[in-house]
Structure 1
Amino acid sequence: MPPYTIVYFPSRGRCEAMRLLLADQGQNWKEEVVTLEVWGQGPVKASCLFGQLPKFQDGDLTLYQSNAILRHLGRSLGLYGKNHHEAALVDMVNDGLEDLIRHFGQQLLRNYEEGKAQYFQELPGHLKPFETLLAQNQGGQAFIVGDQISFADYRLLDLLLNHQVLMPSCLDAFPLLSAYVARLSARPKIKAFLASPDHMNRPISARLKL
């Protein structure tokens, strides 16, 4: 049996960064898919600690909250920086990504076409901090923090790939982020995962059907 189980909707959503991380680290996991119809019936939702998915199982440890899951995997698999200084920066990046992801979801769920247009108009200002962080770390030739990959890299990669699906030109003004996406996407295990049906056949969002 795989050591990890992801329980989530039939989408990339909050779990694709976890999947990228696990695939790149050579870890096996299984998926338990909860359709929106089943979720709407109530019992599964009532069984979740905070009434939310994802649910993640690592042996006898059950976790909810996607950021807690990513931090757990970061600690378990050595993806949380090399010291306290780097770990603090990884947390900072992850919190910045959380702000952007929440803003992204709110804009698109409110009114998709109008929200999307406004969101992508504002996007350069939201991406600039990440371009700046790359520039400050070995001239943008490494990772978002330090010289080894962290869980924040998988989350940033997932976010940027999703944005490129919705607006292919969104990174044209950010050469370091653009090169970063190409570099991480070329890592052999990530490349294989991105080309797999497990990734290709999942929409970005189950609710928006993107």
Structure 2
Amino acid sequence: ADVSTAAGCKTLVTALPEVDILINNAGIFEPKEFFDIPDDDWSRFFEVNVMSGVRLSRAYMPVMLKRNWGRVVFISSESALNIPKEMIHYGMTKTAQLALSRGLAELTRGTAVTVNSVLPGPTMSEGVETFVKDLAKQHGQSVEEAASQFVKQFRPTSLLQRFASVDEIANMVVYISSKEASATNGAALRAEGGIVQTIA
């Protein structure tokens, strides 16, 4: 189902009416100058990146609360804290996810349901891999060179100094979805390679 639409979310919930763990990871990104971003793009980014999580959490959380167990995880981004000037519309949606996650966590008080968000940094997902390959073609570079240059140019504070692997982010998600993470609720967990230069 296409969870970027209300109809798609309804189709998914009809086919799968209950889940123990909900990972809200539908997301799109596109570098674009702020002054060139039309209203339709703002709406589209909000629908996909935020409303998909709103709709699915609204559908699945009541059952979790009734059963007194469940996990909801939002895949946000370090861009929620360091809004990238080349993707302000994207950063806005990622900040909205943090607010949504924290607010939903308040609804779980006294239960064994948790709601948290994970903040990856640049991660070599399928979409990012395509983006980096396009950059490499544009600049006559290898994919490795383009990836390295992107991190140095656009995420210079990264301590990792490379794109994270999907598995590195998944490991954080596996932990926060586990029974062992029962005391972590309402948190924004950073897996961004040290890009964000704050202690808390």
TM-score > 0.5, shorter chain as reference? no
**Structure with greater contact order relative to length (CA < 8 Å, sep ≥ 6):** 1
> Larger % of helix: which?
1
Q: TM-score, normalised by structure 2?
A: 0.30
Q: TM-score, normalised by structure 1?
A: 0.29
